[in-house]
Amino acid sequence: MLLLQNAAFLGLFRGDSANLKSLQLDKLQPPEDLGKTPTTEDIFAEISKDRMSAARKVLAYVKQNPEPNDFINAARRLVFLKGTNSHDYKFSSAVLEDYHNVSPAWRASFLAASVFNLRGSGDADNSLVKRTRAALGA
């Protein structure tokens, strides 16, 4: 019973943003006016500013990089630098490990959707990173 109740309520937790609630993952498209393939640095900077734009850039990136190991490594690095709670770590771990287990037709969309819960390069470092850097004089 609890499992069914959980499934019934999952749709209520998609966020308050009307933009996100109306998102249809299969209709998300890469930006048309993009002059060049975005870099991982472009994408993670954009995550801190505009997640929808970052998701669209991920689609363009994966189109040119079907094995997005640089993106996955950057996401892992940022979650350790910027993550503030266990959900940051659990979510990113699940998404980044499952990427290769998702059907190839859905991989780009899967990775693009992940940016709504990944950390961006413009986010503040977590307190442990700040304390470690202070202790090392970095």
Q: pLDDT per residue over 53-100, tens digit each?
A: 999 999 999 999 989 999 999 999 999 999 998 888 888 888 999 999
In a domain, 23, yes or no: no
With respect to residue 12, please indicate whether it lies within any of the assigned structural domains: no
Total tally of structural domains belonging to the chain: 1
What pLDDT is attached to residue 12? 63
pLDDT for 137 equals 86
In the structure, what pLDDT confidence band is assigned to residue 27 with cuts at 50, 70 and 90? confident
CA pair distance 22, 8, nearest whole angstrom: 18
Residues 6 or more apart whose CB falls under 8 angstroms from that of 134 comprise: none
Give Dmax (Cα) for the chain.
Answer: 54
Whether the pTM exceeds 0.85: the reply is no
Each residue's pLDDT tens digit, 37-57: 899 999 999 999 999 999 999
Residue 66's domain comprises 39-136
Instruction: Tell whether 81 is covered by a domain.
Output: yes
Residue 116 covered by a domain: yes
Q: In sequence order, which ranges of the chain are alpha helices (DSSP H)?
A: 2-9, 18-21, 40-47, 51-64, 69-82, 86-98, 107-114, 127-136
